[in-house]
């Protein structure tokens, strides 16, 4: 159901789906940091391969690393977009709504 973005009509299944989507979105909160760390590690390994192996092999490693990283960014972004769209379709949870309202309230008074 998550892959296709289908929203269940049964209230119990909607609640279960909402909880699952919230849990998965919570797990992706460090996505940008993880991608930066991965890019740094891949760059460091690519640089070390240029010093230790033949240039064609190092170039092949760089191409493979760049393609793998690009795949992770694109697929991860699509999954995150799908989860956010499904969260919006399901509606905010009561807890999430309270947090959002508190955030908006404090933001208005801070400005």
The yes-or-no verdict on residue 95 having pLDDT over 60 is no
* Dihedral sign of CA atoms 75, 80, 84, 86 in order: positive
Q: Record the pTM.
A: 0.67
Centroid of chain to Cα 54: 36
| pLDDT band at residue 111 under the 50/70/90 scheme | very low
C-alpha distances in angstroms, 17 versus 13, 37, 91? 6, 31, 11
Structure confidence at residue 94 (pLDDT) = 43
Structure confidence at residue 17 (pLDDT) = 85
Per the structure, how many domains does the chain have? Answer: 1
- Does residue 60 belong to any structural domain of this protein? yes
- Identify the domain containing residue 87 by its residue range: 56-91
CA dihedral 7, 84, 102, 34 (to 10 degrees): 140
**pLDDT tens per residue across span 32-79:** 999 999 999 999 999 999 899 999 999 999 999 999 999 999 999 998
Whole-number CA gyration radius for the chain:
20
Query: Shortest CA distance to 38 belongs to which of 66, 63, 75, 59?
Result: 66
Residues 4/77, Cβ–Cβ less than 8 Å: no
- Does residue 107 belong to any structural domain of this protein? no
- Does residue 69 belong to any structural domain of this protein? yes
Q: Mean pLDDT check: name the lowest of 8-17, 18-27, 31-40, 53-62.
A: 8-17
- Does residue 39 belong to any structural domain of this protein? no
Q: What is the DSSP letter of 4?
A: T
- State mean pLDDT over 3-25: 81
The yes-or-no verdict on residue 110 having pLDDT over 90 is no
């Amino acid at each position: 159901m998550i892959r296709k973005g289908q929203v269940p009509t049964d209230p119990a299944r909607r609640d279960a789906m909402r909880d699952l989507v919230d849990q998965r979105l919570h797990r992706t909160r460090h996505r940008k940091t993880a991608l930066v760390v991965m890019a740094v590690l891949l760059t460091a390994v690519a640089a070390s391969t240029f010093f230790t192996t033949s240039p064609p092999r190092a170039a092949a490693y760089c191409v493979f690393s760049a393609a793998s990283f690009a795949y992770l960014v694109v697929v991860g972004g699509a999954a995150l977009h799908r989860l956010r769209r499904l969260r919006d379709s399901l509606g905010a949870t009561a807890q999430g709504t309270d947090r959002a309202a508190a955030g908006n309230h404090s933001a208005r008074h801070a400005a």
